[in-house]
Amino acid sequence: MPEPAPPALQLPNQELDRALSLTRGEFAALAVSQRRTSRDWRSWLAGAAFVASLLGASGLMTLRERLSWSAHLEWWFLALGWAVGSIPIVLWARRNHRLLGEHRLLCPSCSEPLVDTWLPRGRGDRVLATGECLRCRTLLFPDEA
Ligand SMILES: [Zn+2]
């Protein structure tokens, strides 16, 4: 079930069918809101679940050593830890990408995120400065002089 966008991210009188019909000011406001939303408790929970999964795998490896289980089990425990730990990370990344689309912060031409999605790299600032998609160079604010 899709969750509704937070009220702060909704702009009045938007033409949702027009690709990136945002002014630079609206884009900047949405980028700030997106940053806040993408780093809420869910991202911390996903990160914590990933670390917990790896710690669980490490615990199983220690247990294997103490109980003298077969050595090849270590690789299975490690693979299991990565696989289970990746699930919340993938879910978080998919949610993030969906929110970027809902907030029209993806390039209308190539779907590249127009703001930072994980580590801060100043992508939104560079998009604002150049007015272009950083990947395909599509002009994002063509109505502006
Ligand atoms: Zn693009």
pLDDT tens for each residue of 66-92: 999 998 899 999 999 999 999 999 999
User: Residues 36, 5: contact at Cβ < 8 Å?
Assistant: no
How many angstroms separate the alpha carbon of residue 58 from the centre of ligand 1? Answer: 41
Q: What is the pTM of this model?
A: 0.67
**What DSSP state is assigned to residue 91?**
H
When comparing pLDDT for 62 and 10, which is higher? Answer: 62
What pLDDT, on the 0 to 100 scale, is given for residue 3? 56
Phi/psi of residue 137, each to 5°?
A: 65, 20
How many angstroms separate the alpha carbon of residue 24 from the centre of ligand 1? Answer: 16
pLDDT tens for each residue of 12-50: 444 344 346 788 888 999 888 888 887 788 888 999 999
How many angstroms separate the alpha carbon of residue 54 from the centre of ligand 1? Answer: 36
What pLDDT, on the 0 to 100 scale, is given for residue 106? 92
Phi/psi of residue 116, each to 5°?
A: -65, 140
Cα–Cα nearest to 88, from 124, 52, 114: 52
How many angstroms separate the alpha carbon of residue 110 from the centre of ligand 1? Answer: 4
Count the neighbouring beta carbons within 10 Å of the beta carbon of residue 114. 29
For residue 101, how far is the Cα from the chain centroid? 11
Contacts 24+ apart (CB under 8 A), 6-14: 6/33, 6/37, 8/33, 9/33, 9/34, 9/37, 9/103
How many angstroms separate the alpha carbon of residue 126 from the centre of ligand 1? Answer: 13
